[in-house]
Structure 1
Amino acid sequence: MSRPTARVLTLLELLQSGGTRTVAELADRLGVDGRTVRRYVDHLIDLDVPVESVRGRYGGYRLAPGYRLPPLMLGDDEALAVLLGLVAGRRTGLTTAQHTASETASAKIRRVLPKHIARRLDALLEALAFTERPGAFDAPDAGVLLTIADAVRHRRPVSIRYTDRDGRRSERTLHAHGIVAHAGRWYVTGEDARINEDRTFRLDRIADARALPGSFEAPVDPDPAQRVLSAFATAEYRHEVTLRIHGTVEQIRVRLPAGVASLEEEGEPATGRNRATERWLRVELRVERLDWLPPVLASLDRPFAIERPDELRDLVTALADRLASYARQAPPRETDVMKRHS
């Protein structure tokens, strides 16, 4: 690559880093004079790169936003970071409905990587393992995601067409407070303007989103992530479970996170001060099945009492009896083990 061409590409990379760059700064970085900088800018404009000239004392050049994405200059580390982000996004389900966009973007970056970097990337991907199996998640539509994000940022009402888990369709006006990625899915939390209540919606179940005129006042501390977790913990399921567990908030949250259970002490949420103090906490959760709870309670290794349901008490007792019977058994003799595997 000739030196003038390399300098033009370096100029593009400098402009892509953001902000306005003065002619003097660009000339110093490129090792040329101001007239040559202007000539290089003309080369970029001839290539349809949207470069703007900024007048004034602190003027210079900057990239203008446009409909066409200007050519990107990525360093080796930047290219690897983008590719790994795409891999992780596909694995965890945090992509939009345009799956091919993620795949083609990966292919384009992969194709232009230097050979030594590509080999190192292949080695990393071969060695990389995930603790969770890839899920078959329904991804949201990119247009819906961007429309709602804009509504969150500018506090504008948005009209959505939503299909709930039972297949019922409805049209709602939402005052969206935030977008949350949780366990491989996208959610939006906000106030349903028709009923004036907080609601959480899965973005992949929104068929259409349309910004409405007007604006709304956001709550002082919306904390969208916490609202989504609270919605999970209080959702309607087959069983309503109430426990009292003696321990700290941190000890209990290790096995029963905020998306699964709510914690209270004397009627107040146990999320304030004295989180490290052991005391009796009221734990409430709603679940479809109870069979996974006895092992969780055993792994907590904290004193607990079951207020409801009685069925859970029976399951815990059965697990305790089963573990006690295992503990009383004598270990098998070596000859018996050899016979069993012969």
Structure 2
Amino acid sequence: MARPTARVLSLLELLQSGGLRTVAELADRLDVDERTVRRYVQHLVDLDVPVESVRGRYGGYRLARGHRLPPLMFSEDEALAVLLGLATARTAGTAQETARAKLRRVLPAPLARRLDAVLESVSWTAPVAAPAPDSEVLLPLAAAVRDHQPVRLDYTAADGRRGDRTFHPHALVVHNDHWYVTGTDAGQDRTLRLDRIGSVRTLPGTFEPPEPHDPAERLLHRLATVPYRHHVRLRVRATAARVRGRLPAGLAIVEDHGDHLDVELRVESLDWLPAVLASLDAPFTIEQPAELRDRVAAFADRLREYAR
């Protein structure tokens, strides 16, 4: 749920509690300015909510006398979908937390336990909100992570090949706009995207969970070491923050040696790297591949030509 939408709902709840609310009071409760309050009120009016404006020194807003909105009615699947959206939004504020708590109180116990399984098994690589995946995939995977149960997946690989695989899920991780599940497949470490999973079937039995680790850090390391066409190794004399600003975790591995950084990444194409290296504005050495040195030199020649 978007933050403005949640605040409009919070405004509606304040007005439904009865009485006249001043603009200053509403602005303070919603943590916005008074102009924004007036805009939120207009949103309610546009939705045919009878909000009355009272003018004067002690004026403000109230709902029309005798008016009361009917309670919202959700099916179990609808309530769960709303809660997943609220619970997995890392940018959620007070309004979202309030909405989540209210909905969760009326959620049937079995569904509440399924939601808890998601919250117990998911990690984020950054404080961003990503759309929650299909609940028919997410919920059984989360339960399998929590209970250390193998699953059977209908999975479509990046090259379009589709097939069934038996998977031991270890953790759920949200990175950028995608949800991932880490685990093992035939004894090999694997990272799968949830949007490529067609179906999930829990298998009997359990497996021994791995040693405790940071799932988000492990995912970033795996993404940075995917065996793409080119293996790039650099030595850079710059701060880690500067390098990370151009080559984020999940793309490159950066080791700080005090007087320099060792940077390693695997890429399918070298075309974009010369401009990134130039943007660092710091001394660097290309240890491999030699082809990248040629591309950087050609890029520098083009810049000199453009400068003329």
Q: TM-score range by the shorter chain?
A: 0.5 to 0.7
Following superposition, the deviation at residue 209 of structure 1 comes to 0.8
Distance 1:302 1:223 in 2: 32
Q: 1:209 aligns with which of 200, 208, 215?
A: 200
> What TM-score, normalized to structure 2?
0.55
Following superposition, the deviation at residue 222 of structure 1 comes to 3.0
Report the counterpart of residue 290 of structure 1 in structure 2: 270
Following superposition, the deviation at residue 215 of structure 1 comes to 2.2
Deviations 1:206-263 (A, max 9, x none): 1111112222232233322222222221113232222222334333222111211123
> What TM-score, normalized to structure 1?
0.50
Report the counterpart of residue 235 of structure 2 in structure 1: 244
Is 1:170 the counterpart of 2:163? The answer is: yes
Distance 2:223 2:147 in 1: 27
- Aligned partner of 2:169: which letter? A
Report the counterpart of residue 187 of structure 1 in structure 2: 180
Structure 1, gaps ≥5 residues long: 8-46, 50-65, 84-134, 264-269, 330-342
Report the counterpart of residue 155 of structure 1 in structure 2: 148
Distance 2:295 2:279 in 1: 15
Shift of the 299–79 alpha-carbon distance from structure 1 to 2, 3 Å rule, reads closer
Distance 1:176 1:68 in 2: 26
Q: Could you say what secondary structure the match of 1:311 adopts?
A: helix
How do 1:55-94 residues align onto structure 2 when only pairs under 5 Å count?
78=95
Shift of the 219–298 alpha-carbon distance from structure 1 to 2, 3 Å rule, reads same
Shift of the 278–247 alpha-carbon distance from structure 1 to 2, 3 Å rule, reads farther
Answer whether contact 1:159 1:174 (CA < 8 A) is retained: yes
Answer whether contact 1:246 1:278 (CA < 8 A) is retained: no
Percent identity (aligned): 51
Cα RMSD of the aligned pairs, angstroms, is 3.6
Distance 2:268 2:205 in 1: 41
Distance 2:293 2:78 in 1: 63
Distance 1:289 1:317 in 2: 17
Answer whether contact 1:191 1:198 (CA < 8 A) is retained: yes
Following superposition, the deviation at residue 323 of structure 1 comes to 2.5
Following superposition, the deviation at residue 148 of structure 1 comes to 0.4
Distance 1:82 1:318 in 2: 56
Is 1:198 the counterpart of 2:189? The answer is: yes
Report the counterpart of residue 141 of structure 1 in structure 2: 134
- Aligned partner of 2:297: which letter? T
Q: Give the total of aligned pairs.
A: 197
Distance 1:314 1:260 in 2: 22
Is 1:255 the counterpart of 2:246? The answer is: yes
Following superposition, the deviation at residue 82 of structure 1 comes to 6.7
Shift of the 315–82 alpha-carbon distance from structure 1 to 2, 3 Å rule, reads farther
Report the counterpart of residue 9 of structure 2 in structure 1: none
Answer whether contact 1:240 1:309 (CA < 8 A) is retained: yes
- Aligned partner of 1:218: which letter? P
Shift of the 223–304 alpha-carbon distance from structure 1 to 2, 3 Å rule, reads same
- Aligned partner of 1:200: which letter? T
Following superposition, the deviation at residue 79 of structure 1 comes to 6.8
Q: 1:226 aligns with which of 212, 217, 221?
A: 217
Q: Could you say what secondary structure the match of 1:165 adopts?
A: coil
Answer whether contact 1:140 1:205 (CA < 8 A) is retained: no
How do 1:271-282 residues align onto structure 2 when only pairs under 5 Å count?
278-282=258-262
Shift of the 291–213 alpha-carbon distance from structure 1 to 2, 3 Å rule, reads same
Deviations 1:117-166 (A, max 9, x none): xxxxxxxxxxxxxxxxxx9x9x8432011110111122222221212112
Following superposition, the deviation at residue 199 of structure 1 comes to 0.6
Following superposition, the deviation at residue 325 of structure 1 comes to 3.6
Distance 1:78 1:67 in 2: 22
Q: Could you say what secondary structure the match of 1:247 adopts?
A: coil
